[in-house]
C-alpha cells in the first residue's frame, strides 16, 4: 500500500467518519500534501522506516475551528491504523511524521509557499517558490473538499503562466549555454575530473530543462532522476545519452553523447512551438575544437517570445532554485523571496 493509499483509507475509515459524527455540518477539506516521498508518488518499501504512516491535513473552513478539530481528533483517533502508529501532535507543528494536522488553509499555504494562492499569484510568488514546494502542493491527493477552495488553489498552481514559463525556460537554457564548452576545455588542460564534473552538471540541467519543457515541476536531487524517467516514453533516448555521457571516461565520448542529448532536447523545444523553429545541429565553439549547441540561441528566442516587458527585461537568473543550490537557503522562504526581489534588475549589458 502506498502512502497516498494509506492516507486515503485512513481518511475514509477513521478521520472522515469522526468529523461527520463529532462536528456535523463542518465545511472542511482533507488531503495529503506537503513534504514526503509518498506525496510525489515516489515512496518505496524503504520509505516506511521513518516518518511514514497514516497522515493527512484537515483544513476547516470556519475561522477558529482548527483547535476544535485538533482537540477532537486528539481524543478520538485510534492508537494504530493498519499496523502503523497514529501519532497525533500535541501542538500545531506540521512537520512530516505528525500524522494529522488541522489548520486554516491560508496559514498552511503561507507556511508552505510564502503566499496564499487563493489570491492573485504574482511573478515574484512564482519565481520565489522552489519547484519542489510547488510539486508538494499540486501532487498528493485531496480526499474531501467541501468548500472547494483547496481544489481551486491547486488548479491555480498547476503550472506557470505562459510568460513565467518562457522566462524560466530561457534561464535554464542560459545555464547550459554557460558551460556547454567546458567539458572539452577542462579535458584539453588535462583536467579529466573537471570535465566529468561539468558533464554531470550539464546532465542535471538538461534533466531539469526536460521536466520544465514537459510541464513538470522538477523535484529536489533525490527524486530528480525518478521524475525525469517518468516524463514520457521519449525520455528514454535522452536518458540513454545522458547516462552514456556521465559514464564516459574520455572527453570525445562525453562530447559525442552530450551532443546527442542537445539535439534531442532542441527538437523537443521546437515541437513546443513557443518560438520560431531553431537549428538543432551542434557546431564549433568559436574556432575551438569543441562541439556545442550554442544554447544561448534558445535563451534569446524564448526571451523574445515573452510579452510582459518587465519580465522580458529581468536578469537571466531565473527562479530561486535556478540560482540557489542550498537546501537550507531554499527552505528559508523569507530569504528566497528577498533574493528574488533583489534579482529583479535588467540583464547585464
pLDDT, tens digit (0-9, with 9 covering 90-100), for 33-85 = 998 888 898 877 777 766 677 889 999 998 789 999 988 988 898 888 988 88
- What band does 220 get if pLDDT is binned at 50, 70 and 90? very high
- What band does 349 get if pLDDT is binned at 50, 70 and 90? very low
- Convert the pLDDT of each residue in 158-168 to its tens digit: 999 999 999 99
Of 156, 186, 221, the position where a domain reaches its end is 156
Same domain, 290 and 201: yes
- What band does 88 get if pLDDT is binned at 50, 70 and 90? low
Number of domains in the chain: 2
- What band does 321 get if pLDDT is binned at 50, 70 and 90? very high
Same domain, 294 and 188: yes
**Domain limits at 223?**
162-312
Of 136, 156, 176, the position where a domain reaches its end is 156
* Least confident residue range of 109-118, 136-145, 166-175, 334-343: 334-343
Predicted pLDDT of residue 346:
55
Same domain, 10 and 140: yes
Same domain, 150 and 204: no
Same domain, 152 and 183: no
Same domain, 56 and 184: no
Same domain, 305 and 222: yes
pTM of the predicted structure, to 2 decimals: 0.92
Q: Say what percent of the chain tops pLDDT 70.
A: 94
Separation of alpha carbons 224 and 136, rounded Å:
14
Predicted pLDDT of residue 95:
46
Same domain, 105 and 54: yes
* Least confident residue range of 87-91, 180-184, 256-260, 317-321: 87-91
Same domain, 7 and 148: yes
Of 141, 156, 171, the position where a domain reaches its end is 156
**Residue 323, domain member (yes or no):** no
Same domain, 297 and 283: yes
**Residue 233, domain member (yes or no):** yes
Amino acid at each position: 500500500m502506498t502512502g497516498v493509499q494509506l492516507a486515503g483509507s485512513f481518511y475514509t475509515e477513521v478521520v472522515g467518519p469522526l468529523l461527520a459524527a463529532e462536528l456535523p455540518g463542518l465545511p472542511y477539506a482533507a488531503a495529503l500534501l506537503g513534504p514526503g516521498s509518498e506525496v510525489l508518488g515516489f515512496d518505496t518499501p524503504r520509505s516506511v522506516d521513518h516518518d511514514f504512516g497514516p497522515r493527512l491535513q484537515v483544513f476547516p473552513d470556519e475561522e477558529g475551528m482548527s483547535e476544535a478539530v485538533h482537540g477532537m481528533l486528539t481524543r478520538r483517533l485510534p492508537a494504530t491504523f493498519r499496523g502503523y502508529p497514529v501519532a497525533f501532535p500535541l501542538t500545531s507543528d506540521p512537520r512530516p511524521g505528525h500524522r494529522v494536522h488541522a489548520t486554516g488553509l491560508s496559514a498552511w499555504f503561507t507556511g508552505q509557499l510564502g503566499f496564499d494562492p487563493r489570491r492573485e499569484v504574482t511573478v515574484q510568488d512564482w519565481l520565489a517558490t522552489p519547484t519542489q514546494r510547488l510539486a508538494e502542493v499540486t501532487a498528493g491527493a485531496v480526499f474531501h473538499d467541501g468548500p472547494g477552495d483547496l481544489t481551486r488553489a491547486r488548479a491555480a498552481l498547476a503550472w506557470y503562466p505562459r510568460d513565467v514559463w518562457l522566462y524560466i525556460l530561457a534561464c535554464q537554457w542560459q545555464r547550459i549555454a554557460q558551460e556547454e564548452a567546458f567539458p572539452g576545455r577542462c579535458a584539453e588542460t588535462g583536467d579529466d575530473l573537471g570535465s566529468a564534473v561539468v558533464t554531470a552538471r550539464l546532465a542535471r540541467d538538461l534533466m531539469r530543462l526536460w521536466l520544465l519543457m514537459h510541464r513538470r515541476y522538477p523535484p529536489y536531487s533525490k527524486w530528480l532522476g525518478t521524475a525525469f524517467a517518468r516524463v514520457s516514453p521519449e525520455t528514454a533516448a535522452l536518458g540513454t545519452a545522458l547516462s552514456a555521457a556521465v559514464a564516459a571516461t574520455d572527453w570525445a565520448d562525453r562530447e559525442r553523447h552530450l551532443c546527442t542529448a542537445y539535439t534531442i532536447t532542441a527538437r523537443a523545444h521546437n515541437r513546443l512551438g513557443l518560438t520560431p523553429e531553431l537549428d538543432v545541429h551542434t557546431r564549433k565553439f568559436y574556432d575551438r575544437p569543441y562541439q556545442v549547441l550554442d544554447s544561448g540561441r534558445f535563451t534569446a528566442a524564448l526571451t523574445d517570445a515573452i510579452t510582459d516587458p518587465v519580465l522580458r527585461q529581468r536578469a537571466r537568473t531565473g527562479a530561486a532554485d535556478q540560482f540557489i543550490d542550498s537546501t537550507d537557503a531554499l527552505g528559508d522562504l523569507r530569504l528566497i523571496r528577498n533574493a528574488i526581489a533583489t534579482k529583479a534588475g535588467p540583464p547585464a549589458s
